[in-house]
């Protein structure tokens, strides 16, 4: 089979118009006649259920499988791997050989979000068993599995008392105005805060880095009204104690899903998203 590809323009039109997806009956006919031989294109969208969220780049898997699974086992008839795109929706497309379908059997599409071999979200939907023109788009809704570990923890900036003093984020409530002022005072792509700390005298230090390691050292008043110093930071600058554990990614940005990371989404006092804390979880990071 071929790998993921862009849905056709006609299929994309269905998705853009938000048309309802009618249920598709998958049994191959009461007379158990095999379907026509040939390639069947399947395209659609992975949709997050209300309240669910995955970081950009979260690994997603889609499989075409028999339902229920045969007693003798066996792998999927077709599969595709992709990464989560913009929040809430990720388009997908692949094809399969209808000649591999067994007469009278039922087939479904199963999708899941997997990281570090842990399945966080999953969903399934009927699959068209014959070619259609235009292809029938399929929506698969991804939901958190019962009793599954959460992909991230949602924390309030007002309740950070559980963090240890070695974790610089335990001061996040006090230094957040300075962080926001310093970030608004500089420019660059994908800037993150690798450490922030109260300095006494009503000031806070904020270290900001870009993906190449360069950035800024900023000292600002804790109320976020102005900064007292702002200097450039070379990529080879010495790492401060506790720096990058965690990294703070300001909203509206978000983390890119990677192994060996733990995520916390930080919410403000009025439940507005302020950003993300990303912690390394593997030794040697």
Q: 64-102 pLDDT, tens per residue?
A: 898 888 777 677 888 889 888 766 788 888 888 878 888
In this prediction, what percent of the chain has a pLDDT beyond 90?
A: 45
Both tokens of 188, joined, read 């660059």
Q: For residue 256, say if its preceding peptide bond is cis, omega within 30 degrees of 0.
A: no
Are residues 115 and 162 part of one domain? no
Distance of CA 234 to the CA centre of its chain: 31
In a domain, 1, yes or no: no
List Cβ neighbours of 279 (8 Å cut-off, separation of 6 or more). 245, 246, 261, 262, 263, 264
Q: Which domain holds residue 131?
A: 9-144
Q: Is 95 helix (H, G, I), strand (E, B) or coil?
A: strand
List Cβ neighbours of 164 (8 Å cut-off, separation of 6 or more). 170
- Residue whose entry in the numeric block shows the structure tokens 């007292």: 228
Mean pLDDT value across the chain: 82
Are residues 182 and 135 part of one domain? no
In a domain, 226, yes or no: yes
* DSSP structural state of residue 52: -
Domain boundary among 92, 125, 144: 144
Are residues 272 and 188 part of one domain? yes
State the burial class of residue 283 (Cβ atoms within 10 Å of its Cβ: 0-12, 13-18, 19+). exposed
Domain boundary among 122, 144, 166: 144
Q: Given this model, what pLDDT does residue 28 score?
A: 31
Phi, psi of 272 (to 5 degrees): -90, 145
In a domain, 2, yes or no: no
The total of structural domains in the chain comes to 2
Q: Which of 23-32, 46-55, 127-136, 272-281 has the lowest mean pLDDT?
A: 23-32
Domain boundary among 120, 144, 168: 144
Q: Given this model, what pLDDT does residue 12 score?
A: 35
Are residues 156 and 140 part of one domain? no
Are residues 246 and 219 part of one domain? yes
Contact 109, 80 (CB under 8 A): no
């Amino acid at each position: 089979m071929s790998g993921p590809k862009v849905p056709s323009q006609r299929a994309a039109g269905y998705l853009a118009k938000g048309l309802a997806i009618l249920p598709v009956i998958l049994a191959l006919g009461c007379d158990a006649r095999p379907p026509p031989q040939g390639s069947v294109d399947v395209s659609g969208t992975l949709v997050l259920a209300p309240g669910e969220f995955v970081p950009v780049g979260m690994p997603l898997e889609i499989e075409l499988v028999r339902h229920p699974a045969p007693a003798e086992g066996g792998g999927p008839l077709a599969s595709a791997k992709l990464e989560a795109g913009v929040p809430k929706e990720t388009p997908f497309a692949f094809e399969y050989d209808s000649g591999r379908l067994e007469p009278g059997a039922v087939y479904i599409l199963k999708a899941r979000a997997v990281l570090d071999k842990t399945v966080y979200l999953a969903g399934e939907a009927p699959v068209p068993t014959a070619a259609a023109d235009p292809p029938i788009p399929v929506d698969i809704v991804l939901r958190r599995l019962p009793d599954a570990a959460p992909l991230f923890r949602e924390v309030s900036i007002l309740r950070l008392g559980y963090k240890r003093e070695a974790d610089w984020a335990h001061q996040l409530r006090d230094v957040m105005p300075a962080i926001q002022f310093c970030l608004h005072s500089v420019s660059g792509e994908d800037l993150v805060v690798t450490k922030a700390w109260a300095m006494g005298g009503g000031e806070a230090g904020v270290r900001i880095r870009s993906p190449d390691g360069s950035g800024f050292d900023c000292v600002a008043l804790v109320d976020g009204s102005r900064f007292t110093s702002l200097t450039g930071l070379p990529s080879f600058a010495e790492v401060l104690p506790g720096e990058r554990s965690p990294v703070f990614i300001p909203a509206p940005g978000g983390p890119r899903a990677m192994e060996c990371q733990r995520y916390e989404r930080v919410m403000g006092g009025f439940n507005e998203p302020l950003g993300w804390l990303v912690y390394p979880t593997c030794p040697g990071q």
